[in-house]
């Protein structure tokens, strides 16, 4: 395998912290650098949601041995003029910066995170100008917003869709998170280029919490962490817990997180819990720092991921699942996407039917009534995570693909 490659990783999302994309890219960069490669992360736009979540606001920085650089703003502007300037710079500045950097030391590979139109357009121009290879990471497939009028969310969707459908085929190879995305490239876009399926990357050591106490003494706490929207099936989780709690009063539900791109979604979730009469048995933490999540997850006895059917569930691989496994907690998860391809029901996880409240509730009851089952699931799931998601163990396979 070729060694000592110089790799430019371009992302229009946050880095090195600030949500699931930042976490994946951080471990991706660290995995590539483990094999003696030089990695620089280029951020053409400013970080998003700086006032709501913990993100780094340095213009130039290092995370371990990874350099990163903002080419324009550090934080994405909120005013219209600032947004316009940031978007124009995001198209032009990467081209000039990487062409100049290539003169100093040859760039062997360009890797672009996500297939947005302007990002792919700029990356293809760089690819041609410096005569190198372009690899595109496609993490998910976005559903088209149901709107008859032009909106920001609809513009973002078209930016993604046009980039994926019309420009991405000119890349040299692809890294995707699911079989759905691989099949879309091969069958719909007729792509005949190398594709690597990489469900996710993480560091299990970050979730190894010792001496952690239960969230509530003498209670079985079911935990969820993420963005509690319909896409993650949190309302189904609350409904199923409502049935479970009536049968098992010693249970508690912990919901960690909130939306970061709009007004809080928690009031409507709390309202539903109130109508079900279980509000005193549910804790909503709201947004918390990434460093606090391992402690909260380890305080639970069962962890849940109850995504409903839909394109998002089929196309992506849940970031939080590896984190759940790293906590060595039994997991109840719905049968969506690649889940049945990777895991056996009763061996790695408890698999339940998406959108089926009673099926989800029965999954929780299985774990409550069978402690031996919980221990077996935890051990098998941790082993799978360590072999397939631990960035240190995946670095060689990843770099072999990039180097080809």
- Confidence (pLDDT) at 65: 86
Please determine, for residue 387, whether its predicted confidence score (pLDDT) is greater than 70.
Answer: yes
Distance spanning both ends of the chain, measured CA to CA: 8
| pLDDT confidence band for 53 (50 / 70 / 90) | low
Tens-place pLDDT, residues 271-298: 999 999 999 999 999 998 888 999 999 9
Q: What is the pTM of this model?
A: 0.92
Please determine, for residue 231, whether its predicted confidence score (pLDDT) is greater than 60.
Answer: yes
The closest of 31, 141, 27 to 397, measured between CA atoms, is 31
Determine whether 63 is exposed, middle or buried from the number of CB atoms within 10 Å of its CB (0-12, 13-18, 19+). Answer: middle
Please determine, for residue 50, whether its predicted confidence score (pLDDT) is greater than 80.
Answer: no
Q: Give yes or no on whether 6-201+391-403 and 205-388 have one common fold.
A: yes
Could you tell me how far CA 124 lies from the centroid of its own chain?
A: 25
| pLDDT confidence band for 137 (50 / 70 / 90) | very high
Of all residues in the chain, what percent carry a pLDDT higher than 70? 96
Mean pLDDT for all residues in the chain: 92
- Confidence (pLDDT) at 52: 53
The CATH code of domain 6-201+391-403 reads 3.40.50.2000
Please determine, for residue 250, whether its predicted confidence score (pLDDT) is greater than 70.
Answer: yes
Please determine, for residue 56, whether its predicted confidence score (pLDDT) is greater than 70.
Answer: no
> Which ranges of 131-233 does DSSP label H, i.e. alpha helix?
152-162, 179-183
Count of Cβ atoms closer than 10 Å to residue 305 Cβ: 22
Tens-place pLDDT, residues 91-107: 899 999 999 999 999 99
| pLDDT confidence band for 320 (50 / 70 / 90) | very high
- Confidence (pLDDT) at 162: 94
Tens-place pLDDT, residues 103-125: 999 999 999 999 999 999 999 99
Residue ranges of the domains in the chain? 6-201+391-403, 205-388
- Confidence (pLDDT) at 255: 97
Count of Cβ atoms closer than 10 Å to residue 78 Cβ: 9
* Least confident among 23-27, 75-79, 227-231: 75-79
Report the pLDDT averaged over residues 45-53: 67
Q: Are 59 and 27 in contact (CB under 8 A)?
A: no
Please determine, for residue 203, whether its predicted confidence score (pLDDT) is greater than 90.
Answer: yes
Q: Are 75 and 58 in contact (CB under 8 A)?
A: no
Q: 205-388: which CATH architecture? A: 3-Layer(aba) Sandwich (3.40)
| pLDDT confidence band for 55 (50 / 70 / 90) | low
Of all residues in the chain, what percent carry a pLDDT higher than 90? 74
Report the pLDDT averaged over residues 163-187: 96
* Least confident among 80-89, 125-134, 219-228, 352-361: 80-89
Please determine, for residue 22, whether its predicted confidence score (pLDDT) is greater than 50.
Answer: yes
| pLDDT confidence band for 1 (50 / 70 / 90) | very low
Determine whether 318 is exposed, middle or buried from the number of CB atoms within 10 Å of its CB (0-12, 13-18, 19+). Answer: buried
Please determine, for residue 69, whether its predicted confidence score (pLDDT) is greater than 90.
Answer: yes
Max CA pair span of the chain: 68
Rounded distance between C-alpha atoms, residue 237 and residue 311, angstroms: 19
Q: What is the CA radius of gyration of the chain?
A: 22
Tens-place pLDDT, residues 151-173: 777 888 899 999 999 999 999 99
């Amino acid at each position: 395998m070729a060694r000592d490659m110089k790799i430019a990783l371009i992302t229009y999302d946050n880095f090195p912290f600030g949500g699931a994309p930042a976490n994946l890219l951080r471990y991706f960069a660290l995995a590539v650098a483990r094999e003696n490669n030089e990695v620089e992360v280029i951020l053409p736009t400013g970080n998003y949601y700086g006032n709501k979540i913990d993100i780094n606001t340095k213009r130039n920085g290092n995370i371990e041995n990874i350099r990163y650089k903002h080419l324009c703003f550090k934080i994405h502007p909120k005013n219209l003029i600032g947004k316009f300037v940031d978007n124009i710079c995001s198209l032009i500045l990467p081209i000039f910066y990487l062409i100049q950097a290539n003169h100093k030391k040859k760039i062997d590979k360009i890797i672009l995170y996500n297939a947005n139109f302007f990002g792919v357009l700029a990356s293809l121009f760089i690819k041609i100008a410096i005569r190198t290879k372009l690899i595109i990471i496609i993490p998910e497939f976005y559903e088209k917003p149901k709107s008859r009028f032009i909106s920001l969310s609809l513009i973002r969707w078209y930016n993604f869709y046009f980039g994926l459908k019309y420009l991405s085929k000119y890349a040299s190879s692809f890294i995707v998170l699911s079989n759905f995305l691989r099949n879309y490239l091969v069958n719909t876009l007729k792509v005949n280029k190398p594709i690597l399926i990489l469900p996710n990357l993480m560091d299990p050591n970050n979730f190894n919490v010792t001496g952690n106490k239960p969230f509530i003494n003498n209670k079985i706490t079911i935990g969820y962490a993420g963005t509690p929207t319909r896409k993650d099936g949190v309302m189904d989780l609350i409904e199923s817990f409502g049935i479970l709690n009536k049968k098992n009063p010693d249970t508690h539900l912990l919901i960690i997180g909130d939306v970061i791109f709009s007004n809080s979604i928690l009031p409507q979730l709390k309202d539903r819990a109130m109508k079900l009469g279980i509000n005193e048995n549910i804790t909503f933490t709201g947004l918390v720092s990434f460093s606090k999540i391992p402690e909260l997850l380890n305080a639970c006895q069962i962890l849940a991921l109850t995504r409903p059917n839909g394109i998002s569930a089929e196309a992506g691989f849940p970031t939080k699942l590896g984190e759940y496994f790293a906590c060595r907690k039994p997991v109840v998860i719905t049968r969506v996407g690649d889940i049945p391809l990777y895991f056996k029901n009763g061996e790695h996880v408890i698999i339940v039917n998406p959108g089926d409240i009673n099926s989800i509730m029965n999954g929780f009851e299985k774990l409550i009534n069978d402690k031996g089952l919980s221990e077996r699931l935890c051990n098998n799931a941790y082993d799978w995570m360590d072999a397939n998601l631990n960035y240190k163990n995946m670095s060689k396979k990843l770099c072999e693909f990039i180097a080809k």
